């Protein structure tokens, strides 16, 4: 499912978060359209919220659970060296009427090339901040990635507090 949102160079190629992988009470996990870093996702709040300081305790707790599940799922699938999390809203302020929304960028990072779906993913900026450049992959690869990511994320989300 494609959800239109304000344009964000870290989130999407055409101003949307991507393919929905899972939902919790407060958040939606999307597979980002740009896979410059294999397994890149966006975690978006399910309500309108401008600033992190406006998040409620339950939303923070739910986000912490998602963080644990998403990192566990991607670690199991691709074994990245580290995870970068960020909450950028800069691009919203490039318009005359900015309307930022709280969402998190999840970038698994790799010190080595990773093969998936017949493609080789190289993290050329390993050890540096993620670069917001397009990393488009063939549609069949995105379909396969969406399937295994959804399956693994749901596995961890459904396991409860056993992580």
Nearest to 80, CA basis, from 130, 118, 45: 130
Q: Could you tell me the end-to-end alpha-carbon distance of the chain, in angstroms, rounded to an integer?
A: 28
Please compute the mean of the pLDDT values over residues 32-56 and round it to a whole number: 92
Q: 């998602």: which residue's tokens?
A: 66
Nearest to 112, CA basis, from 138, 85, 145, 82: 82
Assess whether pLDDT exceeds 60 at residue 2. Answer: no
Q: Structural domains in the chain?
A: 19-158 (3.30.428.10)
Joined tokens for residue 143:
């379909």
> Could you report the per-residue pLDDT of 58-71, keeping only the tens digit for each?
999 999 999 999 99
Confidence of residue 89 (pLDDT cuts 50, 70, 90): low
Helix (H/G/I), strand (E/B), else coil: 85: strand
- Residues paired with residue 117 on neighbouring β-strands, in sequence order: none
pLDDT for 138 equals: 96
Annotate 54-63 with b (16+ C-beta within 10 A) or e (fewer). Answer: ebeeebeebb
How many whole angstroms separate alpha carbon 131 and alpha carbon 11?
12
- Asked if residues 29 and 41 have their Cβ atoms less than 8 Å apart, the reply is yes
Nearest to 149, CA basis, from 42, 7, 27: 42
> Could you report the per-residue pLDDT of 107-148, keeping only the tens digit for each?
999 999 999 999 999 999 999 998 888 889 999 999 999 999
Radius of gyration of the chain (CA): 15
């Amino acid at each position: 499912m494609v959800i239109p949102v304000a344009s964000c160079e870290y989130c999407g190629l055409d101003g949307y978060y991507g393919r929905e992988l899972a939902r919790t009470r407060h958040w939606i996990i999307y597979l980002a359209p740009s896979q410059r870093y294999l397994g890149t996702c966006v975690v978006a709040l399910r309500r309108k919220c401008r600033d992190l300081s406006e998040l409620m305790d339950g939303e923070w707790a739910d986000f912490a659970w998602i963080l644990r599940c998403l990192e566990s799922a991607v670690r199991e699938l691709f074994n990245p060296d580290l995870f970068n999390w960020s909450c950028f809203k800069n691009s919203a302020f490039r318009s005359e009427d900015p309307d930022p929304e709280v969402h998190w960028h999840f970038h698994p990072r790799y010190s080595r090339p990773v093969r998936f779906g017949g493609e080789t993913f190289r993290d050329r900026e390993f050890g540096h901040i993620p670069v917001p450049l397009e990393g488009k992959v063939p549609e069949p690869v995105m379909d396969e990635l969406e399937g295994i990511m959804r399956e693994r994320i749901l596995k961890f989300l459904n396991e409860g507090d056993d992580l």
